[in-house]
Each structure stands twice: as structure tokens, then as C-alpha cells.
Amino acid sequence: MCFETLHRDPTSFARRGVLHTAHGDVQTPIFMPVGTAATVKAVSPRELHEMGAEVILGNTYHLNLRPGMEIMREAGGLHQFMGWDRAILTDSGGYQVFSLSKLRKMHPDGVEFQSHIDGSKLFLGPKEAMAIQAILGSDIAMAFDECTPYPATHEQALESLELTMRWAASCREQPRADGQLVFGICQGGVYQDLREQAVTEMAALDFDGIAVGGVSVGEPEKEMLEVLDWCAPGLPLEKPHYLMGVGTPRQLVAGVARGIDMFDCVLPTRLGRNGSAYTPTGTMPVKAGRYKADFRPIDEACGCYACQSFTRAYIRHLLNQNEILGLRLLTLHNLHFYLDTMREVRQHLEAGTFQAFHDHFMTVYPPAQARSEP
């Protein structure tokens, strides 16, 4: 078995586990930094090691365009190419079916894309996505799916789910790299019957893990959590559960309570590049004028390099001078904050105090549309 449950929270679906991969064990619940183009933006593999990252993401669609699979073969796979010796999960490109909807044409056996780089045509379907991921040699490959947009009618969501299930069955039969795990993805929009159908049918395909996709695509946080409430009872206990593209720290803790083991999101690196830092009570716009002469660290309780070495005033100065170090320091801090939040979650699950931690976190951390500035 690739997944073991070590502790369970008796009051929710939350659990503490370990995922065994070809490049080492991953302690769950875990946050996975996003490295779409074979790099986590502004951060080196060494820094990721030091902050405790155990698995990062790559993207099938983007890596297939650049540098291309010929280069990837010559490099010996994605791990060797980017100098990362821990686990890698690769998205199948299904999200690009959603995000690049103006540049693609749907077919029963895949999607015809117009490259966002040079306009050239390419085709990506279950066979192609799995073949690319085999060349990449990721520890976890994702089945090719259609990410259902929001809003969508019930009829549209059903059609999308049926297409995703056909593609999942095809992905299940494709060759994979040695030791590579493959996860299926549940779609179904914001409809309870379709989400429950997706979990049941995907579980029957017996992938190595199961993901909930098609959230964080524009729906309110309340609806996202409703989707997880519908999915949670049916997610197979012996498999790892992955919530794709989510989310804020509050959403991560809420997801853990609903049985999610793995998360990824671009928010910590994106907000860092845009001048904001995560804190235990929300985001802080470090670039704002109020921090011009603030000589405290971003978070006095944080152990990251930025907080241990620099002040808000200095980081704000770097940002206003367009110095790369400012973006790097905020990115390092934000990733550390996410990983540290997951470490704290695991500690509370081990100690049997997760529910109290969850309730407190939900009280002090603002919902997605709100902001608290220390």
C-alpha cells in the first residue's frame, strides 16, 4: 500500500498519515508548492529542502511545450532536470482544458490546443498526458480530466463528468514510469448527486489515490466546502485524498477536517510576488505605507529566514525599489507559513487536539473574501 493512516480525529474526517513514494515518504496532511515550469517561482530546491517541502508540483501541458519531451528524455526526467530529489506530482494538463478554454477545441478522445506561446497546434488526451508524465518520471501522475467550469448547469456538469470518467478509464490502462503512482480526479461541479457519483465511480477504478478537482474555479468558499462535505463520506479510507488547487490557509485547515491529505496552490508564491505576506490572522500588504518605519519582523513567532533576519520596513523598501530579494523573502515566508501550518495540523492530529485547533483557526483566520492586517 502506498498510504498509511497513523492517527484519526474522532470528531471529523481528519487524519494523520504517510504517503510512500519512489522518492521518499511524504507526511500528511501536506501542502505541495507549485513548480509549474520545473521551478517553484523565486525559490531554489535547497531552500525548499530547508523549509521542509517533501513534494512539489510540475505541469504536463507547460513542460511539454517548454522545454519539451526530447530535452526531458535527455535530462533523465524531471527530478534530474530540476535538481530535486524528493517527490514530484505532475498535473495532467486537465486544468488547462479549463484555463485555456479560448485556445482549445474539445474532442471525445482529448483536446486540441493552440499553444499560448506561438499559436502552434497540439493534441492532449489521456494517452498523451500519461505518456508525457511517464517521460517526466513524476512520483504521482494525475489522470487527464476536464475541469468543470463555474457556473455550469447540471447537464453541462454531467457531460463533463462522463467525459472525465471515460478519460480516467483510459488513463488507468496506460503505461507508467517505474514506481509511479496514478491518481484519479472527481469532477461534478456544485451538484451533490454528481459529486457522489464521481467519488463512487472513481473509487471503483482503484487508482492509487483520489483527487477532488473542479473547485477553486470561481465558486464561493461556502460552495467549495459543501462539495467536500458531499465527497468526504465516500472517499476510500485506504487511499490518499488530494484537493486540487486549494487554497487559503483557512481552506486547507477546513479541507483537512473533511478528509483531505494533500493540497497545492499558487497563492503563497503569487501573493509574495505581489507584495503580501501570510500571517496567523490573514494577509499583510507589506508594500503599504504604514510599514515604512515598522522595524518588526513580518511575524514575530515565525522561524523563516525572512522573519528571523529582516524587518517589515526593509522588505517594503526592497519591494518599492523593485529589488528581487524583496519578492524572494516574501515568497520564502509564505511557503514556510503554509508548510508550518500543515506541520501544526499534523501535531494536533497526533496529540488528539485537532478539533480545538480547527475551531480556533476558523475563528481567527478570515474567510477568502476578507482580510485582517496586523
Cβ within 8 Å of residue 41, ≥6 positions away: 35, 269, 273, 331
CB of 168 closer than 8 Å to CB of 148: no
Cα dihedral: 21, 30, 125, 36 (round 10): -100
Classify residue 115 as exposed, middle or buried by CB count within 10 Å of its CB (0-12, 13-18, 19+): middle
9 classed as catalytic: no
Which of the following is catalytic: 9, 91, 139, 299?
91
Distances (CA, A) of 253 to 33, 213, 220: 16, 17, 17
CB of 189 closer than 8 Å to CB of 197: no
Q: Determine the Cα–Cα distance for residues 116 and 78; give it in Å rounded to an integer.
A: 22
229 classed as catalytic: no
Q: Determine the Cα–Cα distance for residues 12 and 45; give it in Å rounded to an integer.
A: 35
Residue carrying C-alpha cell 488528539: 352
Which of the following is catalytic: 9, 139, 261, 264?
264
- Cell reading at 138: 513524476
Catalytic positions, please? 91, 264
